[in-house]
Structures are given as C-alpha cells and as structure tokens.
C-alpha cells in the first residue's frame, strides 16, 4: 500500500483522537460576589457556533484535518527519501 495514504489515515485517526481527548468539559461555572452560576452538560447552551455538541464535532473534525495534513506531509517527505 502507498505510504502516503497509510500516513494520511494514521494522521486522520490520531488527529481525531487528540481532538476528542482535548475537548473541554461542557460545563461552566461562574462566581460573581456571593452568587454562583453553574451550567452542566444536562442543559443545552447555544452560542455563535451552535450547540455544545456541534462545536465539539467541529473541533474534532478540525483536529482530524490537521492530523491528516501532517500525516500526508510526513508521507511525502518519507516517500521522497526513498
């Protein structure tokens, strides 16, 4: 099998795994004086990017794409050295 394709797939999987592991917790806590406000993952928060799940998916996809580009670049360098 072509080394570039293998490293592309490895980079894609590694990037997705890193994006999934590095996803911040979907809860938030804020304290102002004596008032404490907490939002946990059971509530839906909607921001400019959409819901928490949508932003998590786009983060994983972004990390996967970056990993794939890095893997493909390493594949080109390794293939050139042969």
Class of residue 71 by CB neighbours under 10 A (exposed 0-12, middle 13-18, buried 19+): buried
Would you kindly state where each structural domain of the chain is located, as residue ranges?
Answer: 1-21+48-82
Q: Which long-range contacts (CB under 8 A, 24 or more apart) does 51-60 make?
A: 52/26, 56/23, 56/26, 59/19, 59/22, 59/23, 60/16, 60/19, 60/20, 60/23
pLDDT of residue 80 exceeding 60: yes
Q: What gap in Å lies between CA 18 and CA 34, rounded to an integer? A: 37
**pLDDT at res. 43:** 52
- The tens digit of pLDDT for each residue in 13-69 reads 999 999 888 876 666 677 777 777 766 665 555 555 555 556 778 888 889 999 999
pLDDT of residue 76 exceeding 80: yes
**pLDDT at res. 54:** 64
Q: Which residues contact 3 (CB under 8 A, 6 or more apart)?
A: 75, 78, 79
């Amino acid at each position: 099998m072509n080394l570039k394709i293998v490293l592309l797939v490895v980079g894609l999987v590694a990037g997705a795994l890193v994006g999934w592991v590095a996803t911040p917790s979907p809860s938030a806590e804020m304290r102002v004086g004596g008032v404490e406000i907490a939002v946990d993952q059971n509530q839906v928060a909607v921001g400019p990017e959409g819901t928490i799940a949508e932003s998590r998916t786009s983060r994983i996809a972004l990390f996967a794409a970056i990993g794939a580009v890095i893997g493909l670049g390493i594949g080109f360098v390794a293939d050139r050295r042969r």
